[in-house]
Amino acid sequence: MTILLTGGAGYIGSHTCLELLRAGHQVVVVDNLSNSHAKALDRVRKLAGKDLVFHREDLRDALAMERIFSTADITAVIHFAALKAVGESVQKPLLYWDNNVTGTLVLLEQMEKAGVRTMVFSSSCTVYGDPASVPIREDFPLSAVNPYGMTKLTCERILGDIYRGDPAWNVALLRYFNPVGADPSGEIGEDPNGIPSNLVPYITQVAIGKHPEVLVYGNDYPTPDGTGVRDFIHVTDLSIGHLRALERLEACPGFLVCNLGTGRGYSVLEMIKAMEQASGRKIPYRIAPRRSGDVAEAWADPSRARAELGWSATRGLDQMCEDAWNWQVKNPEGYGGGS
């Protein structure tokens, strides 16, 4: 198959690109490089020993997207392209609504014009808001509490409406929990702009000396050690979940919603301790006040993905931390410092 990856130069996109190429698929990437690096795709080509097509374009440019669909026989789309920082979304909601929702609408219009009606959508566990209980199942109430989560939930609803209006569409909504780690080669990994908003790259940057300490937001949650608990999943496991979703839609067309998580939660302090073990370094941290909007616990019930996709996360916490640290050591300045 020829698969179009929007946002394919980003963290999850580049790892999925690699897995698709290794599985024998043709890959076309569209990315505006606003929060990603073309160098990641060069490294994907090298790791896979295969080429891919890259277009530096913005999804909101309908003419550019029309040209891309007209120049390749695209079978399906994996839609990663989105702004994703919760805090920034609160400060700049219009930017998030325009980029994430308008971009998706333009993409869907161009897919329909081109007769491409298969999409795997990159969603998020933020659509569950503050869950009443854990583990979180796909049938839980949806109640996003920030603009980023609302844009993901809105795109989910748009895709549901499209499918109900025309069942010829095939859609998988994949609700990610907390992707971490990197390809074991250390050639591709997470390279956030500025100070990381995600926990693990912040911890690794503290370990390597880029920041003085990890800020732990709250130690009075009703959890075993008082710090927030999240479901961390290796990015390679997450990427393979997209391949399984494509295979499922090809074999059994329709509309599908699946959590992609491990089914186990780790606290912030557990993650710091695990990274100390992986890095062999002491990682200083300081307790800070809770952040508005943070929940005590969020971890997945992944049983539907196991049943529907034949997929389960197989990489444990030690490997997540070892691979994240390997990427950090090999690329202390991210893609900006490597060849």
pLDDT in tens, 26-51: 999 999 999 999 999 999 999 999 99
pLDDT at 338 over 60: no
Give dist(CA 128, CA 140) in Å, integer: 7
Distances (CA, A) of 334 to 81, 175, 264, 276, 329: 20, 27, 29, 20, 10
**% of the chain surpassing 90 pLDDT:** 93
Amino acid sitting at position 46: K
Segment 256-263 shows an average pLDDT of 98
The backbone region for 144, taken as left when phi is positive above 0, alpha when psi lies in -120 to 50, beta otherwise, is beta
pLDDT at 154 over 60: yes
Give dist(CA 154, CA 83) in Å, integer: 14
pLDDT at 185 over 80: yes
pLDDT in tens, 234-249: 999 999 999 999 999 9
Q: Is 11 among the residues known to form the active site?
A: no
11, 96, 128, 148: the catalytic one is 148
Give dist(CA 41, CA 13) in Å, integer: 10
Q: Which residues are CB-contacts of 209 (< 8 A; sequence separation ≥ 6)?
A: none
pLDDT score recorded for residue 337: 67
Segment 274-279 shows an average pLDDT of 98
Q: How confident is the model at residue 194 (pLDDT cuts 50, 70, 90)?
A: confident
- Tell which CATH classification among 3.40.50.720, 3.40.190.170, 1.10.10.10, 3.30.420.140 matches the domain 2-181+231-263+299-314: 3.40.50.720
